[in-house]
Amino acid sequence: MLVSPPAASVLHDALERVSTLVKEAILDSYATAEKKPATHYVWCNGVMEKVWLTNGYNRNRVELPPSEHDLALVERFASYQPQRLRAPRFFTNSRINSSPSLTLKDLFTGRALRNIELLLAAIDDLPKAAQEPMRLALTAAVGQMSKMVFAITGRGKTTGVSNKRMEVGSWVIGYWRPAQHFEINVWNCFEHRVQKLIKAVEQSKPAQDSGKAGGLPAVCAGGADYAILAGDCLALLPQIPDKSVDLIITDPPHGDRIPYLELSEMWNVILGEEPPFESEIVVSNAKERVKKTHDYNQAMSRFLQIASRKLSDSGSLVLFFNARTKESWKFLESFSGSANKAGMGYCGCFPLVYSAASVVQDNREGALRVDYGLVFSGSAVASPSLTDIPGWMPSLPTPKE
């Protein structure tokens, strides 16, 4: 999508086609007794409390108590079982509010699941060039289609100017299902995301050369400009000829900071992907995964040893990393001094300051505020272009613990 984004006209046509196929059916599932589609439902502990609509003029919202029709409509879809979405695979991880018993029905209403599957079927009916961007828009919207969207109440308490008006929050990564939450019209979520994508494409500068895509052998042989591969780095990297790579940039999981595949499972279900959890290089709080710091360090050391053999004599490897504990940095010990097993040395590092605060990063006291770009090369000598970077330092960062 970034290398070769679709034309805005392709997205317009795709949205129109999807609209023709499923918009009416989706909106009907939110229709009130007056045949007006609801935009939001407020739920609390499994009980529908409010139905929101727009008034059709200045688009101000109208809040109504649920009618018998509204309750009957949601009950109609309550027993819906996904026809194409596989069962998710979750683990016992209280840190991200997951457990093996967590199901799609815990994360979505039956109505939302039915409508998501209608969208997926309509996207499958599009020309191939339009399918990928439409799936991107759908997965970008899925969080707002879930039961994880919390209600904001009492805004302004800290300023002394209280506002009792309820507002729509967002979902927080980590499968938290608040007692009071929203159910949002799936079509509105999807259409909004597609419109944002169209706007972004219209405002972006077209790439001068999108490049020629190919497989890994074609790239290595000079017959293609790039290959996009999904797989285990420890299996893919050995397929690259030794001493053939000028630059490797990698941003692996930073120890136990974020369990990526566990957090990605909801989106992988939507896309029909089944990730290899067993191969993930990460430290996880899920005991049944047995992803401990010792295993993480071993896998990271193996990665660096393989990667270093692929670098050309003048090549460099940049590793984006930071972790709180010394134990999480242990894999770097084998790449210093006489214990160096990889044939490359550490040059230094530069800070990578987060562009914005994120709920994904730890908010507790002592949480990390920056990452680092750790630079390695065969010569272990940093070029002036690196040492001129603000904050450059030749030593390794000092872990917090």
Question: Tell me: the pLDDT tens digits for 118-170?
Answer: 999 999 999 999 999 999 999 999 999 999 999 998 766 555 555 678 999 88
Cα-to-chain-centroid distance, residue 200? 19
Which pLDDT score is estimated for 14? Answer: 98
**Per-position DSSP letters for 308-334, written without gaps between them:** HHHEEEEEEEEEEE--SSGGGGGGGGG
Show the domains of the chain with their CATH numbers.
8-203 (no CATH), 241-387 (3.40.50.150)
Helices 110-124 and 8-18 cross at an angle (nearest 10°) of 130
Per-residue model confidence as pLDDT tens digits over 39-91: 999 999 999 999 999 976 667 889 999 999 999 999 999 999 999 999 999 99
| Identity of residue 320 | F
Residue 319's beta-bridge partner residues?
250, 374
CB-based contact 227:332 (threshold 8 Å):
no
Q: Could you give the 3-state DSSP secondary structure of residue 287? A: helix
